[in-house]
Structure 1
């Protein structure tokens, strides 16, 4: 059964078990999915209401954007566990001969790269949702503004959690160009979007 098909209690229990996956990566994707869902909820609480007719078109755009991003995060919950398990599978490869050792080493490097790209993708998706959340700020049902604040927190957690998973894998990758590229791109995403998440949260506090 897919992780996203588990009941909440089952998912939490699985996460708490001694199984190494799902772990922090899938949890980060879940944070992102929850943050995105809250932005969508606020839009749904705004559209179709005469009182907020001025926000209708903007909120419809928000709903359209968050729908795809929620699906992306749901897929990343599964994908992160898959790529982690792929790393584990490499460890079971034979390493008796020099040829086997070389194949195992190559396979491990490829698996680690995949395990880096997935959480990096989470960071990119969280950045997209923060922009959508910013679009909703001040143009949605004010009674749900606190939910936008919680959404910003969830997306910040997704961003930082995903970055930790990028970094831990980069430490074992020998391809210096790959490491340099993803470290630089990740650091920029982190710097730009943590500041945005914090500013959005602070804006919500001002409105309460």
Structure 2
């Protein structure tokens, strides 16, 4: 389980020639760290009585971010498992036409799975980005930079995940590709709008 490794062990495996973890796992990790940092701002705010007027909002958004944090942690391992599935499919024998066809179908199915896992990561990072404006608006002013870093981490996780989707769909038939490409474009557009708003808010603060 990658999520259970120490930072040093994880980085050592990441920088090795091992096929996993890779960019998809790191994208989910960016989202996970973003959620953790956003939660820090929530808890700092909840710990201060002078921000009691913000406590209801912070309880609500904090609970939602906590759920996303758990999901993103799980996606770290899911992404590694999905990529391992693709590798195993490529290793299947193809000694005769029957085996070759089975291998080809397995590669297609595993590649499709490997495309949808980072798509989920991107969607979770987008959901997280949508929560961060509340954290910035209602959070302790002294921790606004933490919320800003959380936003950038979520955006990085989203962009990295979409890059992995784009790479994986190259080997998939067109009927799947169009749907995924449309979703990629939609997520990217929403991300750009959110980040533009967040950056303006941070500069005004």
For residue 95 of structure 1, give the secondary structure of its aligned residue in structure 2.
coil
Matching residue of 2:201: 203
TM-score (norm 1): 0.95
CA contact (8 A) 1:153 1:201 kept: no
Matching residue of 2:149: 150
For residue 94 of structure 1, give the secondary structure of its aligned residue in structure 2.
coil
Aligned equivalents of 2:35 and 2:144: distance in 1?
A: 14
1:132-155 Cα offsets, whole Å, 9 max, x none, are: 111222111111000010001101
Q: Which runs of 5+ in 2 are unaligned?
A: none
Aligned equivalents of 1:131 and 1:5: distance in 2?
A: 28
Cα displacement (A) at 1:194: 2.6
Higher percent of residues as helix: 2
For residue 21 of structure 2, give the secondary structure of its aligned residue in structure 1.
coil
Aligned equivalents of 1:155 and 1:48: distance in 2?
A: 25
Cα displacement (A) at 1:198: 3.6
Matching residue of 1:66: 65
2:16 is the counterpart of 1:20: no
Aligned equivalents of 2:76 and 2:196: distance in 1?
A: 24
Cα displacement (A) at 1:96: 0.9
Aligned residue-pair number: 205
Q: Which runs of 5+ in 1 are unaligned?
A: none
Structure 2 counterparts to residues 68-83 of structure 1, below 5 A = 68-83=67-82
TM-score (norm 2): 0.97
For residue 138 of structure 1, give the secondary structure of its aligned residue in structure 2.
helix
Aligned equivalents of 1:201 and 1:36: distance in 2?
A: 18
1:34-73 Cα offsets, whole Å, 9 max, x none, are: 1111111100000142110110000001111011100100
Aligned equivalents of 1:193 and 1:163: distance in 2?
A: 11
Aligned equivalents of 2:119 and 2:156: distance in 1?
A: 14
Cα displacement (A) at 1:160: 0.5
- What do you get for the CA RMSD once the two structures are aligned? 1.0
Structure 1 consecutive aligned stretches of length 4 or more whose deviation exceeds 2 Å:
none
Aligned equivalents of 2:200 and 2:25: distance in 1?
A: 27
2:192 is the counterpart of 1:190: no
2:4 is the counterpart of 1:5: yes
Aligned equivalents of 2:197 and 2:121: distance in 1?
A: 20
2:155 is the counterpart of 1:181: no
Cα displacement (A) at 1:187: 1.0
Matching residue of 1:98: 97
Which deviates the most, 45-54 or 195-204? 195-204
